[in-house]
A and B are shown apart, each in its own frame.
Chain A
Amino acid sequence: MMTKKPINRFLIYFVLVLFVLIFLTPAYMVVVTSFKSPDQIELSRVWELPSSWYFQSYLDAWETFAPNLKNSAMLVVPATILSAILGSLNGYVLSKWKFRGSNILFQLMLFGMFIPYQSILIPLFQFLDRVGLYGTIPGLVMVHVVYGLPITTLIFRNYYAEVPTEMIEAGKIDGAGFFKIYSKIVFPISLPGFVVVIIWQFTQIWNEFLFAVTLTSGTGNTPITVALQNLAGGRAVQWNLPMAGSIMAALPTLLVYLFLGRYFIRGLLAGSVKG
């Protein structure tokens, strides 16, 4: 190695630590505020630690948000599983059973992932209203499955593209058909693909707001993001409550990120359409 200048090293660490502090500042603020009683929250002392730790905010926030957290869970689990299964099948077809025009169809599907959802929101709203799914969790599940198709298909298609075609060919020679090749050869090696897709969809759907606020507002079926916005958006807010609520809303995705970060990043990079 070249001679390393210690000053440079010091500077690098200095800059990095500085940015770490900046990046953690919001987290510090949330935690500290959530543990203060309402009368402790004074603007002039926001940065100070609570003089006495106050846990009531969490109990209150739980009482307020438990139904919404439950709604979010009821939404995110089926939507994630369904879109992962569909994505896996689509990816399998589009990588191993290509036909004339399949690439174009794939490209047309992908476009659905980039559109501003505002451009389909009014007909979607009408459609759900007409079929009686407006304001229901199954309706929202369906919406997330459909608009999740492009990304889940993309991730699985790229994942299966790495599977050697000879493996598929060998299966065909042994007389295995479409489903048998899928269940005996492709599915058993799909676990990493499923992990990436499930984590991605879980995070996206849990955090989603536009569909949720348009399609469930004013009903009892609002997910946590809408409930949090309703509470924090009000004028005279007791800031300890939205802060505790924020932590509850953030925790599921944050935990997934902390423990399965590697797969989270893979989904992130896949989202940028690398062929």
Chain B
Amino acid sequence: MKKIKFPIKRDQLIAFLMLLPSLILIGLFVYGFIFQTAYSSLTDWEGVALGVKKNFIGLENYKNLFTKLLDVRFRQSLVNTLFFTVFFIAGCLSLGLLFAILLDQRIRYEGVFRLIFLYPMSLSFIVSGTVWRWLLNPKGGINLLPTLIGLQPLEIKWLTDRTQIWQFDWLILPKVFGYILLVVMILLAFRYFRSGRNWGGGIAAMIGLATLFWLISGKANQLQIMNHTEIHGFNLALLGIIIAAVWQMSGYMMAMYLAGIRGIPEELREAARVDGASEVRIYREIILPMLKPITLSAMIVLGHISLKIFDLIFVMVGPDNATTDVPGVLMFLTAFRGNQFAKGAAIAMVMLIIVAVIIVPYLVNTLRTEHEL
């Protein structure tokens, strides 16, 4: 029965018409505008003068961003985002889990503790950034804390630090991506073959083999994306920003984990206790495995926050601090302070693509599980 029924019920039509304005708005302001940004990123649009002519130049802007000597700041911002994201997520997950487990121990004044761990979430990044900038003053704030108990002050330079550790050459990136692709394809092939989807498995295995060949044949070494070496690494100046971000967001993880733990039926734990399992074992073997889906969706939420972070860094270090740049800040500066709209659009598209790679599979997956229900 795939035939459209006539007449369509009147109320169903009204329902659709009520939804329509929102659909049009989202279509225009989200998808239409993304399309426009994508188009702008393929032009040489610069400057604010009216009637500037935009010339189509293909992928030139993207090529420049990833290889041109002048655009090194963008590549550093990508590397910064990577390190920031890893530490930010790790920090929030571990602190959040720690708080949740501690608060699950029949704690007196649990509500008060919860309130205090979560209050930074209600603040603007502008407020917390302002405060943390003051706390991270190299000659005051945190660095002076040890003096309160008679110790020497710390000498961490925080936001003004120019040290870079874990350095690597930008030129190794194609190879790194090659290895990542190889691992992903091997895993994918395994999963497909195991579940009997031989076609998918075959394709994954083929791509994997091709990558492997490319890596060992030495072709990967010959790939010249630019003709100079370019060192990037983890800028220690980011440390202070990571601390501020974790301070602000770990309460969110606590709330997520606590909701998860409270959702586990008490009988399950009681049964394990009767069987003589220790509390530690109950956490390790019952509770933690059940928190995995929460961890996954939280990682996605935290991940996309950190990939598009802007306000916190903007207010903590200002616009002129290249060492702590992230794409979100750089895009704003490029487009709205530098009037290089095409390049700004290209940076924005790179951000969108990175976020979409994470978000789209997640959304599709939630849609699918919903259908199974």
Contacts and interface: CB of A to CB of B under 8 A. Distances in A.
Nearest to A247: B127
B319 to A, nearest CB: 8
A273 interface: yes
Contacts of A246: 127, 130-131
Nearest to A152: B22
Given A115-B34, A121-B348, A90 B102 contact: no
B369 A207 contact: no
A249 interface: yes
Nearest to B126: A225
Contacts of A30: 131
Contacts of A27: 119
Contacts of A124: 29, 33
B335 A121 contact: yes
A252 to B, nearest CB: 10
Contact of B126 (A47, A229, A257, A264): A229
Nearest to B121: A268
Interface string A183-217: 00000000000000000000100111110011000
A147 B33 CA distance: 12
A236 interface: no
B299 to A, nearest CB: 10
Interface stretch (B141-149, B172-180, B185-193): B141-149
Contacts of B131: 26, 29-30, 243, 246
Contact of B344 (A117, A122, A172): A122
Given A97-B12, A110-B363, A209 B311 contact: yes
Given A111-B30, A273-B366, A20 B315 contact: no
Contacts of B362: 273
Contact of A122 (B40, B121, B304): B40
Given A110-B363, A117-B308, A249-B127, A178 B139 contact: no
Interface string A4-45: 000001001101100110111111011001000000000110
A150 interface: yes
Main secondary structure of the interface of B (DSSP, over half): helix
B367 A210 contact: no
A147 B29 contact: yes
A225 B311 CA distance: 10
A116 interface: yes
Interface in A156-175: 172
Given A19-B117, A93-B15, A207-B126, A120 B144 contact: no
A93 B16 contact: yes
Contacts of B336: 121, 125, 214
Contact of B132 (A26, A108, A110, A203): A26
A120 B33 contact: yes
Contact of B341 (A44, A120, A122): A122
A62 B147 CA distance: 34
Nearest to A9: B105
Interface in B312-341: 314-315, 318, 327-328, 331-332, 335-336, 341
A51 interface: no
Interface residues on A, range: 35 or more
B345 interface: yes
Interface stretch (B84-92, B204-212, B252-260): B252-260
B117 A177 contact: no
Contact-size category for B: 35 or more
B134 A257 contact: no
B176 to A, nearest CB: 24
B348 A111 contact: no
Contacts of B252: 268
A59 interface: no
Contact of B335 (A19, A122, A146, A268): A122
A168 to B, nearest CB: 11
B135 A25 contact: yes
A29 B115 contact: no
Nearest to A254: B122
B183 interface: no
B301 interface: yes
A148 to B, nearest CB: 11
Contacts of A97: 11-12, 15-16
A261 B121 CA distance: 11
Interface in B341-371: 341, 344-345, 347-349, 351-352, 355-356, 359-360, 362-364, 366-367, 369-371
B128 interface: yes
A89 B369 CA distance: 25
A92 B328 CA distance: 35
Nearest to B252: A268
Contacts of A209: 124-126, 310-311, 314-315
A132 interface: no
A249 B130 CA distance: 11
Given A16-B113, A272-B297, A273-B297, 16 more contacts: A15-B98, A23-B116, A90-B18, A97-B15, A112-B26, A120-B33, A121-B336, A122-B348, A124-B29, A127-B33, A146-B29, A225-B126, A233-B318, A269-B259, A272-B300, A275-B370
Interface of A: 2, 9, 12-13, 15-16, 19-20, 22-27, 29-30, 33, 43-44, 46-47, 86, 89-90, 93-94, 97, 99, 102-105, 107-112, 114-125, 127, 146-147, 149-150, 153, 172, 177-179, 203, 206-210, 213-214, 225, 228-229, 232-233, 239, 242-243, 246, 249-250, 253-254, 256-258, 261, 264-265, 268-269, 271-275
Lowest 5 A-B CB distances belong to which pairs? A207-B124, A97-B15, A43-B140, A116-B308, A257-B122
21 contacts: A16-B107, A19-B95, A26-B135, A97-B16, A107-B364, A116-B304, A117-B308, A118-B308, A121-B331, A121-B336, A149-B25, A177-B14, A207-B123, A209-B125, A209-B311, A228-B127, A232-B133, A250-B123, A250-B124, A253-B124, A265-B255
